[in-house]
Structures are given as C-alpha cells and as structure tokens.
Amino acid sequence: MWLYLVALLVLYILRRWYRERQTVSNLPDKHVFITGCDSGFGHLLAKQLDGRGLRVLAACLTEQGAERLQQETSGRLQTVILDVTKSDSIAATAAWVKGQVGDRGLWGLVNNAGIGGPAGPNEFLSKADFVRVLDVNLVGLIEVTLSLLPLVRRAQGRVVNVASVMGRLTLFGGGYGPAKYGVEAFSDSLRRELRDFRVKVSIIEPGCFQTPIVDVQRVQKSLEQVWSCASANVKEAYGQQYFDCYIEKFKELLFTANPKLHLVTDAMEHALTARHPRTRYSCGWDAKLFYLPVSYLPTSWADYLLTRSMPKPAQGI
C-alpha cells in the first residue's frame, strides 16, 4: 500500500515538474505591462523580461526612474510615467498601452507598484494614513487592472498581482496588511471570472526582501513621525517603552530581509511565460517556512508566536 502511495507521489511531482517547464511560444511578439518599475522588483523584472526578448512596457512614477531603466535595457523596452492614485494618469496610460499593442492585445499585466507605509500600531495612525497606502496598493491596482482587462482578454493573456505574506498573516498595523488581503480577494474573484476567457491570474506572495520599501532608515523615520503625531492619550496608554521596542522589533525584521530579489522576479517571469502558471507563488524562505505555515495554525497559537517577545503597553493588563 505504501509503495503505491509513494509511486503516486513521485508521478505527481514528475508531472508537475514537466508541466511547469513548458513555456508559451512567440515570446518576442508579446507585450507585458509592469507598474512600479523605478526600483525594486519592477525594475529588475523589466530588465529580466527585456533580456528574454519580450516587448516590455514599463510604468515608472518618475522621469529619473524611467531614464535609468532605459539606459539599462534594449531599445525594445518602452517607458511611461504613471501615478496609480490618479484616474487621469491611468486612463492616459491605458490609451498609450492600447496604441503600443494594437490588435494583438496585452499578453501580460504585472501589478507591482506599491508602498509600505505609514505603518505602526493602528491606534497611532489616522484614517489618512490608511487611505494613502490603500490608494496605491489596492485601489490603484484595481483601477489599472480594470482599465487594461479588455486588452488582456483580447490576447488571452496573464494578470500577475503582487500581494505579500502580509495578505495572509499581518504583523503590524496600518494599511499595508488590509491592502494585501484585498489584493488576494480581488485576484481570487478575477481568476474565476476570467477563466472562460482563457486568461490566467497569478498571485505573488513574497516574504521580506531588500527593496526600497524596507529601507531601515526610512522606516525608522516614518515610525518616529507616527509617534510624534499620536495623541497624548494614546502615548500615555502605550508608553514610550512599548513604542521603542516596537521600532526595534520592526528593524530586526527588516535586517533579515532577503537580498535575492530574483526569487520574486523569477516567479513573476514564470507566471508570464509558463504554459501552466501557478495560482500562487510563495517567495523566500521566511514565507515558505514560517509565515505561511503559521497562518494555518489556530489563531491563538499564531498570536502567541507573533507577540511573545513584545512588551506590554503601559496601561495594559
């Protein structure tokens, strides 16, 4: 009996390995649009796909980011300036993409643009702090997707949305976690709706990687500003010691960030070029071995693991 089960497992692994090695044809004829290409994952992915011969349409927030990317890539790659929080910018970019792809449609849409903060204990933050992150990481992603879906459907292509392990297990307050949970939900519904159009939707769930979002000095400055803007009642309830420890724990997390960004961009590339892409890609040892397993534990166990080293608030129990 056990021998049959082992044999079936081996056959399953071999079949999956074989399917995942199959790639789509005519890559040089396919257009891929990527948001957030100034730096980080988007910048690296644009160069990576350009090296594969695809026709990359790279959206950057700044002229400097666009110029730097063009200097590092071939003449095939085209750039456009896009602010995903502004509807007129998204509409203009969608029209530009339509002019670039023509009747062939858009093979790939990679929603990568995102910001990390403001972040911190929820009670220290304002509504505006949440809205700022949600506008970029969720609402902007949705509007970009809706604007370009007709072109993706025409090509029977791919949508790749960058979520996070924080879309399964949130470690800190602010808009980042809710936005990534929202990306997961939007991607799930989109995948089912587009299945009959032969459009595939994949979710990328990275752990902690060394991108500008997790720059230690920038994050510490942002957290200190969050403390300075908090009300006197909130500061008194939590206490300076609690917040100082919060900052240190946050920095410890960032210091463990993985420098191998290619682990994420390789997953994105596979989602765009494989004949049988995965529904979800977990990237990084921390995602695979800690965050995702912990997310499946009973809630009380997960809460204990994530809060056992944190101090108690000044007015806590």
Tens-digit pLDDT profile for residues 79-100: 999 999 999 999 999 999 999 9
Strands 108-111 and 158-162: parallel
CA distances from 156 to 27, 119, 136 (A): 14, 38, 26
DSSP state of 55: E
Who's near 226: CB < 8 A, 6+ residues apart? 118, 119, 120, 124, 125, 129
CATH domain 27-214+259-298 topology: Rossmann fold (3.40.50)
Strand order in the sheet with 31-34: 78-81, 55-60, 31-34, 108-111, 158-162, 200-206, 280-283
- Residue ranges of alpha helices (H) inside 167-274 are 176-194, 216-229, 232-238, 240-255, 262-273
Asked whether 137 and 180 are in contact (CB, 8 A), the reply is: yes
Residue 193: predicted pLDDT: 96
- What residue segments make up the domains of the chain, in order of their start? 27-214+259-298
Joined tokens for residue 45: 């992915």
Give the pLDDT confidence of 219-253 residue by residue, as tens digits.
888 888 888 888 889 888 888 888 888 888 888 88
Judged against a pLDDT cut of 90, whether residue 1 lies above it is answered with no
Predicted confidence band at 295 (pLDDT cuts at 50, 70, 90)? Answer: very high
Radius of gyration from C-alpha coordinates of the chain:
21
Angle at 200 between CA 198 and CA 153, to 5 degrees: 50
Q: Is 70 exposed, middle or buried (0-12, 13-18, 19+ CB in 10 A)?
A: middle
- Which residue is listed with tokens 């700044």? 62
Cα separation, 188 vs 52, whole angstroms: 29
What integer is the mean pLDDT of 290-310? 90
Residues annotated as catalytic are 176
